[in-house]
Structure 1
């Protein structure tokens, strides 16, 4: 069993996690699912490791993941 089998989003429409740029409500809904997820950290690690450019992963959007990665590596924006 992989972490994906335990994900809170496993039965959700994947499109929910790829909201349009101006869709704050959709992004908020996706993030609220991530907040209840027992494996959201695994999901975030997967996105950071693979360099996932789009979508909500582990409760963070692409810009938030880029900022997190910059902070972790100590590089400037």
Structure 2
């Protein structure tokens, strides 16, 4: 039998906030865009997701989680993808280098 006495304890306390989230049980497609969604459709979906976040009791914990894990996709803590990316990589935004990943190498 494996000795588990030296393993770290449960990390459940790191995730308990999710049990109280306003989005719990909601369709995840509200918070994550489908392929090829653009323009007004994307903005409308994201606005609906942000309204759910607006009254969420764990909004701060959700945003903290997104920033700590460098989450770049979806709506987290009331912020959309563009807003998250700005917080995650401010130097890139200052350089105006938003699409560097998509540009071919010279």
TM-score (norm 2): 0.62
Alignment of 1:33-52 (within 5 A): 33-52=52-71
Match status 1:12 vs 2:31: no
Let me know the Cα RMSD of the aligned residues. Answer: 1.7
Deviation beyond 4 Å, 4+ runs, structure 1: none
Gaps of 5+ in 1: none
- 1:18 Cα shift? 0.7
- 1:24 Cα shift? 1.1
More helix by share: 1
Look up the match of 1:28: 47
**SS of corresponding position for 1:64:** helix
TM-score (norm 1): 0.83
- 1:65 Cα shift? 1.3
- 1:76 Cα shift? 5.8
Distance change (3 Å), C-alpha of 1:76 and 1:18: closer
How far apart in 2 are the matches of 1:33 and 1:6? 13
Query: Highest CA radius of gyration, 1 or 2?
Result: 2
